[in-house]
Chain A
Amino acid sequence: ILNVEQSPQSLHVQEGDSTNFTCSFPSSNFYALHWYRWETAKSPEALFVMTLNGDEKKKGRISATLNTKEGYSYLYIKGSQPEDSATYLCAWDIGGNKLVFGAGTILRVKS
């Protein structure tokens, strides 16, 4: 069974708070792990593609880590801003140019 789990399902934080989400995926047949940000009424936007165990990637206030042996990735947002409000999707790259997506974590940042 190909299953990607994301937690929490939704998160409400105050402006300035730091937060993190989890993505769990099967640890076998791993090619890559993708993170996307999906703002309302827009297209999902690629944040990170992570391929190696222990990978850490950073883009501004957002960073991600990867553990392929235990099958999880964390996404961190430091000092959340209202413009960070979006759904954050992770996707397990199973090869063959196909992604298996989680249901996403909805983040709402209140000012």
Chain B
Amino acid sequence: EADIYQTPRYLVIGTGKKITLECSQTMGHDKMYWYQQDPGMELHLIHYSYGVNSTEKGDLSSESTVSRIRTEHFPLTLESARPSHTSQYLCASSLGRTLANYGYTFGSGTRLTVV
């Protein structure tokens, strides 16, 4: 049973639409992350949060935005989807001061296609 949930699993949407990818976790983890992966490429960090009302941009520039109003919820929004946003988006969370103890718990991802 998953402790971190992403919806939808798959999304095909037209150019210009606003979309929100949902990520929720039931473990009470303070730290949450969004990674983006293009086929055959590395996972790249696009956003992270260390707690409520804390959000930071990751190493890969992204036109998406995130919010963290509740500990368990970390949605990602694209105001106007474009074909270049077609990718897989993975949400993760972690517990503890360092990842060396626990690592990440991942969601199962959202595969987004913008047509």
Contact = CB atoms under 8 A, between A and B. Distances in A.
A46 B106 CA distance: 9
Interface in B94-115: 94, 98-109
Given A97-B31, A98-B48, A103-B40, A43 B100 contact: no
Contacts, number: 69
Interface residues of B, number: 29
A59 interface: no
Contacts of A26: none
Interface in B33-48: 33, 35, 40-45, 48
A44 interface: yes
Binding site of B, secondary structure by majority: helix, strand, loop or mixed?
mixed
Nearest to B58: A98
A34 B100 CA distance: 8
Interface residues of A, number: 27
Nearest to B90: A44
Interface in B61-115: 90, 94, 98-109
Interface of B: 2, 4, 31, 33, 35, 40-45, 48, 50, 58-59, 90, 94, 98-109
Closest 8 interchain pairs by CB? A32-B100, A101-B43, A43-B106, A44-B106, A46-B103, A43-B108, A103-B42, A101-B42
Interface of A: 2, 4, 9, 31-32, 34, 36, 41-46, 49, 51, 89, 91, 93, 95, 97-104
14 contacts: A9-B40, A36-B106, A42-B108, A43-B2, A43-B108, A43-B109, A44-B90, A49-B100, A51-B100, A89-B43, A93-B99, A97-B94, A98-B48, A101-B35
